[in-house]
Amino acid sequence: MIGRAGANIQAADAMSHVFGYTIINDVSARDIQNGWGGQFFKGKSLDGSSPVGPWVVTADEIPDPQQLAVSLRVNGELKQDGNTHDMIYPVAQLIVWLSIGMTLRPGTLIATGTPDGVGFARTPPEFLKPGDVIETEVGSIGRLRNRMVSAAVPATR
């Protein structure tokens, strides 16, 4: 979570813009994403599709955001298990790139990605359904627990 506004942020200054860290359950509606030509934006932008929380841990409490265990369970079964040191790009570099030509304002959330094991890439593919309980956990931050519910309005075009 960004705490200090900035644009065109330099790598050496990137982490000074971080207020803290939280958990984002980056849920994707693959049926909608694929129905719109595979664009991630539509499949990740539905109301209520990316729960956040349960709180924010301030940056001073996490000296190295590249050393946090990350896991995801569906109905108690471990589906993803990794560590932020395996991120393709570290947090500082994400801040640098996202701030090029665009002001990052206090409160801006940056979702950094997820470990291997996403459902659609499994063999056979796995998709969430109403009633499933998803628990996303990040070391030093906590656990975010959500239950899937049916859409209020069916997704049709």
The answer as to whether 152 is a domain residue is no
Residue 48 or 8, more confident:
8
Q: Using one digit for the tens of pLDDT, what is the confidence trace for 21-51?
A: 999 988 777 666 666 665 666 666 677 778 9
**Which one, of 8, 2, 4, lies nearest residue 102 by Cα?**
8
**Which one, of 26, 23, 56, lies nearest residue 137 by Cα?**
23
Q: Total structural domains in the chain? A: 1
The answer as to whether 32 is a domain residue is yes
Do 132 and 45 meet the contact criterion of CB atoms below 8 Å apart? no
**Phi then psi for 17, rounded to 5 degrees?**
-90, -5
Q: Supply the range of the domain harboring residue 104.
A: 11-147
What strands lie across the sheet with 142-147, from one edge to the other? 77-83, 69-74, 133-138, 142-147
The answer as to whether 2 is a domain residue is no
> CA 5, CA 51: separation in Å to the nearest integer?
24
62-73-26-55 Cα dihedral, nearest 10 degrees: -40
The answer as to whether 1 is a domain residue is no
| Res 157 pLDDT > 60 | no
Q: Using one digit for the tens of pLDDT, what is the confidence trace for 87-133?
A: 999 999 999 999 999 999 999 999 998 887 787 777 898 888 999 99
| pLDDT of the residue at 36 | 63
The answer as to whether 62 is a domain residue is yes
Burial of 138 from C-beta contacts in 10 A (0-12 / 13-18 / 19+): buried
The answer as to whether 157 is a domain residue is no
- Per-residue DSSP letters for 65-99? TTS-EEEEEETTEEEEEEEGGG-SS-HHHHHHHHT
The answer as to whether 33 is a domain residue is yes
DSSP bridge partners of 142: 138
* CATH number for the domain that contains residue 73: 3.90.850.10
Q: Using one digit for the tens of pLDDT, what is the confidence trace for 62-83?
A: 999 999 999 999 999 999 999 9
The answer as to whether 87 is a domain residue is yes
What is this structure's pTM? 0.87
Burial of 116 from C-beta contacts in 10 A (0-12 / 13-18 / 19+): exposed
